[in-house]
Structure 1
Amino acid sequence: MDFLKMMKQAKEMQSRMSGLQDELALIEVTGVSGAGLVTVTVTGKGEMKSVKIDPSLMKPDEAEILEDLVVAAHRDAHGKVEQAIQAKMAELTGGLGLPPGFKLPF
């Protein structure tokens, strides 16, 4: 690939990156744990929007289980956000031929 062409594409991509930041704020994903008894919704920027807990889990002697399920649901949601970000980045960088996992400085 021609270096000048690659630089031009990188500059174009940089201008689209600002729009990507706005898009990420609009993405919402839901992580689930405990076979759906706990759900956590987060934005593409990692902001937690909601937590839903099935009332059957709200027993004082099972607080530790509930805490673990909330953490697991958040971890699941975070993984989904990472996948969504990678998909968006692949759309932007598809024409550059960058190696997988390559991080751009902008």
Structure 2
Amino acid sequence: MKNFANLMKQASQMQSKMNEMQEKLAAITVEGSSGAGMVTVVLAGKGDMKSIKIDPKLADPNEMEMLQDLIVAAYSEARRHLDEKTKEEMEKVTGGLNLPEGMKLPF
């Protein structure tokens, strides 16, 4: 039973660390850009888009398809940055323990 009590204590500590990590991630922002910086997207820690900046040169109605593609590319880059930061923070909490994808703590 002592091992089970220690396991539960460790799980509780990990849950506390996970909560701290989630709060930390919620407070960060990441940026992604495309078209040599002509489109920039800023995401919050939970993936919500906070802002988008578009170079006025792209406002040409004949270039709307390119503008749309650049927005998608900038968002994708920002999302990759966010995923990397999330992974880094998760590794700090789990001590490098590779949890199965989709596994959420607490259990």
Question: TM-score band (shorter)?
Answer: 0.7 to 0.9
Tell me the distance in 2 between the aligned counterparts of 1:17 and 1:88: 9
SS in structure 2 of the partner of residue 99 of structure 1: coil
1:23 is displaced (CA, Å) by 1.1
Give a deviation string over 1:43-85, Cα, whole Å, max 9, x none: 1101111000011111001001001100110010001000000
TM-score normalised per structure 2: 0.84
SS in structure 2 of the partner of residue 65 of structure 1: helix
Q: Which residue of 2 aligns with 1:99?
A: 98
TM-score normalised per structure 1: 0.84
| Superposed CA RMSD | 1.8
Runs of 4+ more than 6 Å apart: none
Tell me the distance in 2 between the aligned counterparts of 1:98 and 1:29: 25
SS in structure 1 of the partner of residue 97 of structure 2: coil
Query: How many corresponding residue pairs?
Result: 102
Q: Which amino acid letter does the alignment assign opposite residue 104 of structure 1?
A: K
Tell me the distance in 2 between the aligned counterparts of 1:19 and 1:93: 13
Change (3 A) 1:40 1:12: same
1:24 is displaced (CA, Å) by 1.3
1:9 is displaced (CA, Å) by 2.6
Report matched runs for 1:41-52 at 5 Å: 41-52=42-53
Q: Which residue of 2 aligns with 1:72?
A: 73
1:101 is displaced (CA, Å) by 4.9
Q: Which amino acid letter does the alignment assign opposite residue 104 of structure 2?
A: L
Which structure 2 residue ranges, 5 or more long, are not aligned?
none
The worse-fitting range, judged by mean Cα deviation, of 7-16 and 82-91 is: 7-16
Which structure 1 residue ranges, 5 or more long, are not aligned?
none
1:8 is displaced (CA, Å) by 3.2
Tell me the distance in 2 between the aligned counterparts of 1:17 and 1:32: 30
Q: Which residue of 2 aligns with 1:15?
A: 16
